[in-house]
Amino acid sequence: MADISDSELLEALGVPIEPEKKVTRSLREERIIAGFEEIQRFVEKHKRSPLHGEENDIFERLYAVRLDRMRELDECRSLLEPLDHQSLLTLEGPEPAPLTDEELLNQLGEGEAASDITQLRHVRSTSQKRAAEEIANQQVCEDFEKFKPVFEQMNNELQTGLRETRKFVKDAGFLKSDIEKGQFFILGGQTAYVAEVGDVFKAPNGQYDARLRVIYSNGTESNLLRRSLQRALYKDEAGRRVSNPSAGPLFADQSNEDDEASGTIYVLRSKLQHPEVSRNRDILHKIGVTSGKVERRIANAKIDPTFLMADVDVVATYELFNINRTKLENLIHRVFDTARLDIEIIDRFGKPITPREWFLVPLFVIDEAVEKIRDGSISNYTYDPQGACLLKAK
């Protein structure tokens, strides 16, 4: 007798089979669940609920504030209760690990480590409490979709070497006034983007400060002071700054005696007789960077799939000095990525090749991009194929 499936067996027994219902959740619900799962991982690791208190890690305090909020909101409780296998939504939460006799004495101030009974322990000033709470009080970013491309671009620039991360060291002279709109930081394993900087005001301690809107890569945001963000970065051993991709003044009409020639940007036009190439010949350009003579670079174009296996015309060249050629080429290709030509060429060995350096971009736009590389602003732009123009990132 042939084996029957489970569904066939249930049907034979008269058991109704209901189709599995697919649960769909809103973006807000997904972020709430993701935040709750972070707290659950903390509890699994430390065997207790996250606690408030200046003596605790800033991210533990963040989780504690978030958990309090989830307990208060009916929306969160109804969504998370089926996932709450650790009883975190109850006021008590899971029991902490028991203390040893020695730890208990120290907690009560009776152990060897106890100091003068007149010394207050674990007591923070109002300003300290406020600073800790505003760092921890991350809310769901309702318009996160508009910031997603900003994070994606930054990650791409890190991968291509246009940006780099630098350790956030307290003695490096980094001031809170150096925290500006558009900067990225890494805090608690999340990328933090300074989306807005409010008006500067004088704090009660006499120092000047400003309110920030900070967006995090996990879809949350916080409204905090520059000083609070600076302190959090100092306390986070893994806290880092993300450098700006600004290339600076790469080109000059004249080179100085101390300048070291680094190469040439070249723009080429193909002579290939191919329907796609012929139809777009006036705007189809290869953009590359070479350390040698352009003429030598294109000498074997007819047998090189990079050049579409055809001769080329040199349309424009730009000499450059003191620059990393690979980083510059990656930067240019990133700007024009939306207009990259998708074509397959068969090389002389019969192997299919997809060239990556050809773009459907008018020459005047390439000239404009070079000008923006010169003044260091190119990292703020992307190419719009529909309008045939460079657009500043929002």
Helix (H) / strand (E) element for 70: namely helix 58-72
Residues 330 and 301 in one domain: yes
What's the rounded mean pLDDT across residues 229-247? 78
Of 145, 142, 228, residue with least CA distance to 185 = 228
Q: How many CB atoms lie within 10 A of CB 251?
A: 17
Helix (H, G, I), strand (E, B) or coil at 199: strand
Q: Is 112 inside a domain boundary?
A: no
Sheet of 184-187, strands arranged across: 139-140, 220-225, 208-216, 190-202, 184-187, 240-242, 165-167
Domain that holds residue 192: 138-242
What is the pLDDT confidence band of residue 21, given thresholds at 50, 70 and 90?
low
Q: Is 205 inside a domain boundary?
A: yes
What's the rounded mean pLDDT across residues 90-111? 47
Does the pLDDT value for residue 252 go beyond 60? Answer: no
**Higher pLDDT, residue 1 or 10:** 10
Residues 183 and 220 in one domain: yes
> What pLDDT, on a 0 to 100 scale, did the predictor assign at position 215?
93
Domain boundary among 242, 271, 287: 242
CATH code of the domain containing 186:
2.30.30.30
The answer to which of 40-54, 103-117, 138-152 has the lowest mean pLDDT is 103-117
Identity of residue 234: Y
What's the rounded mean pLDDT across residues 19-33? 72
Show the tokens assigned to 176.
């809170």
Does the pLDDT value for residue 344 go beyond 70? Answer: yes
What is the pLDDT confidence band of residue 379, given thresholds at 50, 70 and 90?
confident
> What pLDDT, on a 0 to 100 scale, did the predictor assign at position 4?
62
List all residues 6 or more positions away from 29 whose beta carbon is below 8 Å from its beta carbon.
Answer: 79
* Dihedral angle sign, alpha carbons of residues 6, 7, 11, 14: positive
Q: What is the tens place of the pLDDT at every residue in 346-378?
A: 888 888 888 888 999 999 999 888 888 777 778
What is the rounded average pLDDT for all residues in the chain?
76
Q: Is 117 inside a domain boundary?
A: no
Residues 282 and 361 in one domain: yes
Cα 17 from Cα 19, distance rounded (Å): 7
The count of structural domains within the chain is 3
Residues 92 and 170 in one domain: no
Q: What is the tens place of the pLDDT at every residue in 278-315?
A: 999 999 999 988 888 899 989 999 988 889 999 999 99
**Higher pLDDT, residue 3 or 165:** 165
Pairing of strands 381-384, 389-392: antiparallel
Residues 273 and 208 in one domain: no
**Higher pLDDT, residue 126 or 78:** 78
**Higher pLDDT, residue 46 or 130:** 46
**Higher pLDDT, residue 131 or 87:** 87
86-92 contacts: CB < 8 A, separation 24 or more? Answer: 86/40, 86/43, 86/44, 88/36, 88/39, 88/40, 88/43, 88/49
191 pairs with which residues across the strands? 186
Residues 86 and 174 in one domain: no
> What pLDDT, on a 0 to 100 scale, did the predictor assign at position 20?
52
The answer to which of 55-59, 163-167, 224-228 has the lowest mean pLDDT is 55-59
Residues 289 and 169 in one domain: no
User: Among residues of the chain, what percentage have pLDDT more than 70?
Assistant: 73
Residues 294 and 383 in one domain: yes
Can you give the pTM of this predicted structure?
A: 0.39
Identity of residue 129: K
Residues 237 and 271 in one domain: no
> Are the CB atoms for 351 and 252 separated by under 8 Å?
no
Pairing of strands 139-140, 220-225: antiparallel
Domain boundary among 211, 242, 273: 242
What is the pLDDT confidence band of residue 76, given thresholds at 50, 70 and 90?
confident
What is the pLDDT confidence band of residue 68, given thresholds at 50, 70 and 90?
confident
Q: Is 14 inside a domain boundary?
A: no
Residues 267 and 235 in one domain: no
Residues 237 and 266 in one domain: no
Does the pLDDT value for residue 56 go beyond 80? Answer: no
Q: Is 7 inside a domain boundary?
A: no
> What pLDDT, on a 0 to 100 scale, did the predictor assign at position 175?
52
Q: Is 122 inside a domain boundary?
A: no
> What pLDDT, on a 0 to 100 scale, did the predictor assign at position 137?
66
What is the pLDDT confidence band of residue 44, given thresholds at 50, 70 and 90?
confident
Of 286, 329, 320, residue with least CA distance to 305 = 286
Q: Is 94 inside a domain boundary?
A: yes
> What pLDDT, on a 0 to 100 scale, did the predictor assign at position 64?
85
Does the pLDDT value for residue 147 go beyond 60? Answer: yes
Residues 72 and 189 in one domain: no
Q: Is 254 inside a domain boundary?
A: no
